[in-house]
Amino acid sequence: MKRLAVILLTTTWAFWAPTLNAQAPANGPASTTSSKDNQASIDQSVALLRQDIRSSKKQAIAASLDLTDTEATKFWPVYDQYSAELSKLGDQRYSLIKEYANGFGTLADAQALSLISRSLALDEQVAHLRSKYVPIVNQVLPGAKTATFFQIERYLNTLIDVQLATRIPVVQEQK
């Protein structure tokens, strides 16, 4: 059951990431409407896939974290709040990836530095969010289960990050 949930999560992510490569900028004014429609379609697909990933991630956590009924009743509302906050940071990350994809091939040094600085700032915000939620989760779960939750959550996010990283070309490849 645990492996199935993880496989489902990574498979869902594998379908999401290639859409990033489909964001090559259109050339010419005739393609502007088509480009906007294409971008809207990509955004909609990404939103649906991110929702699927969140659902798969929750299933994987449920399958991996052995909660009593009492713990589950208290934990899942906290998890949903945490997930919503993490999703907002994911929105910012997706915006950065879109900006990178749209500028790929023409990124100047200053733009590349801005993108990496903002990406690192988002990483810090994610770490801060995790730190913020450790005591909150620990109010509803014992310490070992709190640690287990964050291990599982970190593991799943690492899988997602690896899938994404393998599909985003490095800046130097634009030249």
Q: pLDDT at position 124, please?
A: 98
Greater confidence, 129 or 172?
129
Q: pLDDT at position 110, please?
A: 95
Domain boundaries, the chain: 2-19+35-174
Q: pLDDT at position 172, please?
A: 78
Q: Tabulate helix, strand, coil % of the chain (nearest 5).
A: 85, 0, 15
Q: pLDDT of 124-167, one tens digit each?
A: 999 999 999 999 999 999 999 999 999 999 999 988 888 888 88
What is the dihedral sign for C-alpha 16, 18, 22, 24? positive
Tell me the angle at which helices 69-103 and 143-165 cross, rounded to the nearest 10 degrees.
Answer: 20
Q: pLDDT at position 31, please?
A: 52
Q: pLDDT at position 47, please?
A: 74
Q: pLDDT of 23-70, one tens digit each?
A: 444 444 555 567 677 767 777 777 777 777 888 899 999 999 999 999
C-alpha–C-alpha distance, residues 18 and 11, integer Å: 12
Q: How far is CA 158 from the centre of its chain?
A: 10
Question: What is the 3 state secondary structure string of 62-125?
Answer: HHHCCCCHHHHHHHHHHHHHHHHHHHHHHHHHHHHHHHHHHHCCCCCHHHHHHHHHHHHHHHHH
Q: pLDDT of 5-28, one tens digit each?
A: 444 445 444 444 444 444 444 444
